[in-house]
Structure formats: C-alpha cells, structure tokens
Amino acid sequence: MSKAIAAAAIRGAAGLVARAGEELAGALDTYGPDQRVGFPNTGYYLPVIYGITGRRVGRLGDLEPVLETARGLVPAVPAERVWLPYLGGALDAGMAALFAAETIEALRYLTAPGSYTGKTAPSPGGLWLGAADDAVLRRRGLEFVDGSAPGFAVCVGAAPSDEAAVRLARECQEKNLYVFMCASSGGRSMAEQLAARGVQMGWETRLVPFGADVTATVFALGFAVRVALSFGGVAPGDYARLLSYTTNRVFAFVLALGEVDDEKCAHAAGALNFGFPVVADTDVPEILPSGICTYEHVVANVPYESLVSRACEVRGLKITVDRVPVPVAFGPAFEGETVRREDMHVEFGGQKTPGFELVRTAGPDTVEDGRITLSGPDVDAVEEGGALPLGIVVDIYGRKMEPDFEPVLERRLHHYLNYAQGVWHIGQRDVNWVRISKEAYGRGFRLRHLGVILYAKLKSEFASIVDRVQVRLSTEAGEVTAWRGEAREYYARRDARLAVLSDENVDTFYSCTLCQSFAPTHVCVVLPERVGLCGSVSWLDARAAHEIDPHGCNQPVPKKDVLDAAGGEWASCNEFIRTHSRGTIERVKFYTIMDSPLTSCGCFEALVCIVPECNGFLIVNREHAGMTPAGMTFSTLAGSIGGGVQTPGFMGVGKAYLGSRKFLKADGGLARIVWMPAAFKEQMRPVLEKRAAEDGLGADFVDRIADETVGVEVEEILAFLYEKEHPALSLEPLF
C-alpha cells in the first residue's frame, strides 16, 4: 500500500486523538467526571466505541479509558527510508480516529447543544441533523436488512460545483442509496451546495446532512454499527463479528470529494475497518489490493459522471433497475405477442437485411456502464413497413464474468426484447429477426430503447456476475456486415470448445425451455454433440447457465436407462420431456428424424426435411427465401413444424449440428443430405468437408449435394444425384 496515505492517516489520527484529549480535559475541568454525556435518544451509547469495545460511555469520566485505548492504537509515522507496507498500522490508526471523533462529537452535544437540530430534516434554523436517534434507526435501519435500501454513500467534502452536487445526489437517489453528508472542501460542504439549489434533504429523501466537521463522519459509521447490533444480533464488544457483518451485510462506501487532508485520511482508514472502500475524485494515493474490503480499498481520479457506479462496483454493491424506462408496457406478459406484417412499422434481419447480436466479455477500461450508442438511421427515418440492417453488440465487464457465460446472456436478449409490448424477436446469433409495431413506434419507441432494455435486464437479473453493461447498435449496412464477420469468429470459437466432448463421456444433458413462451410444449434438450436448435446454446453454455441460475430454463437432464442406443433414447430423458411438455410429448430419439424426433420451436437456424423420392433429406437455412424441393419455402415449412410439434421427417436444427458425429446417425448421417441452398452450402463447406472426410464420403461429397442452381423439382434433383452417384441412393430406404 502507499506509504503516503498510511502516513497521512496516522498523522491525522494522532491529531484527532490529541484534539479529543484537550477537549475532554477542558470538559472535565468544567463539568466534572460524573457529567452525563452521549448522543440523544439512543440506547447504544456512543455506538462505535460501544460496538467495538463493549464500553458503555454515559459519563465524561468514561471517555478517559477510551482515549487511552485510542492512543495505544496510533502507531509511529512511517520512517522515510525503511518502512514495511503493512495495512494494519493504518487501520489501527483509523479506529483510533473514530474513537476520537466520537468523543469530540459527544462533547459537542454537551458544550455546544445548538450544533444539531436533532430532527429528521433540515429546518430554517439549522442544516445539520447530527446523530440519528433510535426511532430513525428502527425505521431506516431495517431497510438495509430487507434490501429496500441497498446501501449508503458517505459524502465527505463538496462537489466541484452546485450542479455536480445535485447530479451526484440524484444519481444516488435513483439507485435508492442513502447519502450521508459531512465535512467540507474549499470552504463548502455538499449539503450546503444542495441547499443552495433548493434540494429537499432529510431522512425522507435519503439525503442526510450529518455535520459540518469531518468528525461527523462517525455518525454514518455509528449508524452502520447500530444496524449490526440491532438487526444482526451482534453483541457489543464482539468486534470481529461486528466488522464481518458490516463488510458483508451493510453495503456502504465513502466518496471523498475535493481535497483530502490528514484528518480525512484518518477517517477513511477508519471506514476501511468496516469494509467500506473510499473512492475519490482527486489524485490521492491508492490502495488497490483487496483484503479488508471486498475489492480495492482506495480508488482515485474517478470522473464525476462515473463516481457512484464505480463506487458501487468497488463495494460489490449490485443496483437493480426496478422499472425499465421505455415508452411501452413492459413485462413477461408480452413475450408471446406476435407483430404481424400488417401491424409492423419496421423490421430488422431475418431474410430481409443483415443482422446479428453478440454478447462479449470486455475489460474495465473499455466498458462505460450504461452507455448506449446508435450509428446509422433510427426507425423514424424509415417509411412504414420498411427494413433496416441491425447489429447489436453488448459488452460486459464483471469481476466474476467469464467467457463461458457469454452465450448464456446472449440467449437472454431474445427473452428481454420480447418483454416490450410491440417488439417481436426470434432467432439468435446472425439469424435474428426483429420487428417493431406501428403502435410501439407511435408511442415513441426507438432503437435506443432496445439498449435500455438490455442494460436494465442484464444488470438486474445477472447482478452476481455483471458489473457494467455497454450496448452498441448499428443500422449502417457496411458496419453491420463488418461487425457480423467479427461476431461469427466468436460463434466459431464457442463451437470449437465442444470438439473434445461427446455424448458418451457425460452423464447429464441439459434442457432449454426458454422458447416455451412461443412453443408451450417444446422442450429442447442440448447434448454435447447436438447444439440447441437456435444454434446459440451448446452443452457447455447450458451447463454454465445452470451454474449462474440453478432455477432457470436450463436444467440438468440425467442420462439413464438406455432404451435405444442407435436411436439415442433414454428413459430418464423421456420422463423429463414428458413432464415439461405437459404430457404432450411421450418419447424422443435424439439421433433420428424419422422416429420420435426432437420437437421444434420457431427459433431454429435451419430445417431438415425428408425428400422421399431421393431417399434423403434437404436442409434449408432461415436466410434462404426461395423455393425448396419440398414444394415449400423455409417460412412455410417452419410454420408447419414449429410451435413444439413432433413431426417425423421434419426437424429444426442449429447449423453447428451439421458437423456433429451424431448428425442423423440412426438415419445414415451426412450421406442422406441431397439438397441445400448454394449460399448455405458454401457457408458450411469447411464443416461439411471435415465431417464427410471422417465419414469416408470422399473429398467431393459437398459438390454432389444439389442446390437451387440444379433445380427445385424432384426430377431435376434425382437426375443430378444419379449423375454424381450420391451415396443416399445406395442407402437403405427410409420407409
């Protein structure tokens, strides 16, 4: 740690203890040792002293041994040449400073009784409230236990301007934080700045002006101590349990505003004992390693616009957004809503324009919490019924965030965007499809609100791993295409993680019921060698999702009691699917499309369909808008098999499944593929060629698959297959 800040804390503590000693000596001469002393209307005496030492200070004479203890806690100032960077000395000095500050404040009540109003809000006769009494503690302290008050900020000093002070206060209020104000910098305090701007202060508004002196900081720490004693069951004098409680249950931090002198350093060191870190807007020495506090101890040079969010992050305090600020109704009730073409103002992605969505882990220096940007035209620049490209990049920083969690959060985008009334979203990765209704547009819904939704929901529902969220949106065609190329590299790396896994070497599969809002009877089961239909949920992703949220839509499905090894059927999987499909689906075989195949929702990346005349299957991807040899387009086929229906000979799949060793294994595997759209075939060529080589199908197998350049009529396809000697023609009949 910094020798400079340790030395300042120790000097400040020594000065405060000396000051307290002088004031106590004067009071003893005037009033005598039996004079009653303390804070008004409380049974907790002087709470910091009482909580840490167990001493009940009720008379002036009781303060003498307290200050003697404080003197013993103040170490020598670090030597210039040789000094061991030990935090303990500074922490001891900080505790001594708090004992001295509480002594000074108790004497102030005795010798200057008009210093504090003792009320719950400032009045024309006085700004400073002083220590909270037990009535306030009982009402307000419980809020720190039940979560209605997530924490408090101790603001020491003044903001650089009155306007900045108001913004700081409002941000804390928006986050439901209490603000405890004391001390001054540059001759003004934050409370005086708020008063000058007519801001209403007091316990009711959670803006509490404690006192003008830096020693009033002890009122805030004393309040935390009383919460632990009153609601945490901590016994007075059990300092180890007390400090553990405040560290783990009372989420407070100190905002050092303006210049920081020795006395402020001493109080800051005292706050560190309670697990309350210090975040400063000036260039003070930092203490970055963790140990006493959850994360860093002292962080400096934080911009004002980031001060509160940075302090919350350092404290480990998770602030959730109770109401998503969008101009339409918002909630799970709208998740199953459909925006039809005639009701649509604008659409993105799907088969019309390029689109994708990506969640990625980023470093703290690259993510500005709450930042939402849009490049390109907004929806009001498009004529009704028009279309735009759309790229969505969500950058997330979190101390506990891991790359394995990215796809889990990415899949939730589908969920959250559908919560907005008049917004419709299906698909994932680079096959997403979004529509905004005329009604939503008329109410003022714009593209930025997509970012607002994602920020609010990711911060609230994944608070344990997410500290900062930044959303970038683009409707510029060139930019979206370029970003999509980068996103596909992310997708490919995620898919590659599964290469070493197999269905045989795990004993658990995982479900995904996220799409049951659209398909109530659909239960997707994700295997190591079979990605989810949407293409975004791999076995690893589902396992990570279950770790993040054990009660969420990804649940473990035991792999027990094999019924058909070749077809991929287990009794335990059937039981799980039967239960979670509400008894609609009795059995599923994972390695075949012909007998009890897995159901399909509506978010699948591609669709497999039987072509009986060719003794094989066609595969058509969502982006292909043309006709297929089945006599139907993708959208018509999808409408026929989606919604959780089990349809032998038809099945939705994720693109990555085409490269799996288990791809239609019981039906003959890759050798059954007789037709694919040309663009899709080229996109998947590396995957198909690798799989074909492993299956012994020859280096030219991909070129023996027909596409629309050959034709979409069965007769045309069959002639091509015979010419190319496609292996499907020599396999056993599908019927």
d(CA 602, CA 259): 60
Domain with CATH 3.40.50.2030 in the chain: 134-221+228-255+275-315
What per-residue confidence (pLDDT) applies to 333? 67
Q: Indicate whether 277 pLDDT > 90.
A: yes
Q: What's the half-sphere exposure (Cβ side, CA atoms, 13 Å) at 611?
A: 29
Q: What is the mean pLDDT of the chain?
A: 91
CB 172 within 8 A of CB 319: no
Q: Which CATH class is domain 332-485?
A: alpha beta
- Is residue 489's pLDDT more than 60? yes
Length of the chain: 735
Cα separation, 676 vs 138, in Å, equals 70
Of residues 21 and 328, which shows the higher confidence score?
Answer: 21
Can you list the positions of beta strands (E) in 251-336?
A: 252-257, 278-280, 298-299
Q: Which of 400-409, 551-560, 583-592 has the lowest mean pLDDT?
A: 400-409
- Where in the chain are all domains bearing CATH 3.30.1650.10? 332-485
C-beta separation of 607 from 628 below 8 A: no
* Confidence check: pLDDT of 642 > 90: no
For 3-111, which CATH class? Answer: mainly alpha
643 vs 439, residue with greater confidence: 439
What is the C-alpha separation between 105 and 112, in angstroms, rounded?
10
Per-residue confidence (pLDDT) for residue 188, from 0 to 100: 94
pLDDT tens-digit readout, 239-264: 999 999 999 999 999 999 999 999 99
User: What is the C-alpha separation between 93 and 1, in angstroms, rounded?
Assistant: 15
Q: Does domain 134-221+228-255+275-315 have CATH number 3.90.78.10?
A: no
Res. 174 pLDDT band, cuts 50 70 90? confident
Domain 508-730, classified CATH 3.30.450.20, yes or no: no
pTM, entire model: 0.63
162, 188 contact by CB (below 8 A) = no
**CATH 3.40.1470.10 residue spans of the chain:** 508-730
Provide the 3-class DSSP secondary structure of residue 257.
strand
Q: How confident is the model at residue 732 (pLDDT cuts 50, 70, 90)?
A: very high
- Lowest mean per-residue pLDDT among 88-102, 359-373, 484-498, 538-552: 538-552
Residue with tokens 């060529």: 685
Helix (H) or strand (E) holding 565: none
Q: Which residues contact 422 (CB under 8 A, 6 or more apart)?
A: 328, 334, 337, 339, 436, 437, 439, 440, 441, 443, 445
The two three-digit tokens of residue 410, written as one number: 């990415």
pLDDT (tens digit, 9 = 90+) per residue, 344-381?
Answer: 999 998 878 999 999 999 998 899 998 999 999 999 99
pLDDT greater than 80 at residue 548: no
